[in-house]
Amino acid sequence: MIQELRNSLTALNDEKVFLYPTDTVWGIGCDATNSRVVSEIYKIKRRSESKSLVILVSSLNMLQKYVKVTSELKKFIHTLRKPTTVIYQDPKGLAKNVIASDNTVAIRIVQDEFCRKLIKRFGKPIVSTSANISGNKTPNSFQEIESVILEGVDYVVDLHRDSINKKSSRIVKLEVNGSITVIRD
């Protein structure tokens, strides 16, 4: 894992796009604060930039640098047992093209050890969008990833290539009034 952390960190620092295993499905990622490299992901996925992307952070402390986190939200986050992406209002410090037109952003505090260590070392959030062409089926394993995706990224992490994960993250939205709406369970 140490070498893969180094290689992935180099890709991130060199403003590259990489393919990596997450706590859910395989993801295409890059520096979530760099609009130029985020645009590369949209091109690879053949996806409109009007659709936002999921962002991964390593911790609650990192999350608080990019969105407002209330004490109620902290309590909610501490209850989460499975990977849950939360849609937050009014993000700051992120690339404009990861933010939805309604000024929201989808962020998950990652549970995967590799991802958490990588993001912590990088010091910034990373993009995590499923490794498929937009509109195509999300791959459940590395073997199901389309060759156009594999050829489109700059680096492919060599970990967990035999794992199968059929579950994307749960998605909830933090409403303006503080309530939470389940989007996908």
All residue ranges of the chain with pLDDT < 50 are none
Note the pLDDT of residue 157.
96
pLDDT of residue 81: 82
pLDDT at 169: 80
Q: What's the rounded Cα separation, in Å, for the pair 115 and 8?
A: 10
pLDDT digit string, tens, across residues 122-176: 999 999 999 999 999 999 899 999 999 999 999 999 988 777 776 778 888 878 7
Q: Are 35 and 44 in contact (CB under 8 A)?
A: no
Task: Report d(CA 30, CA 101) in Å as an integer.
Answer: 21
CB atoms within 10 A of CB 166: 9
What's the chain's average pLDDT? Answer: 92
Amino acid 166: pLDDT = 63
Distances (CA, A) of 79 to 36, 75, 103, 119: 36, 7, 26, 22
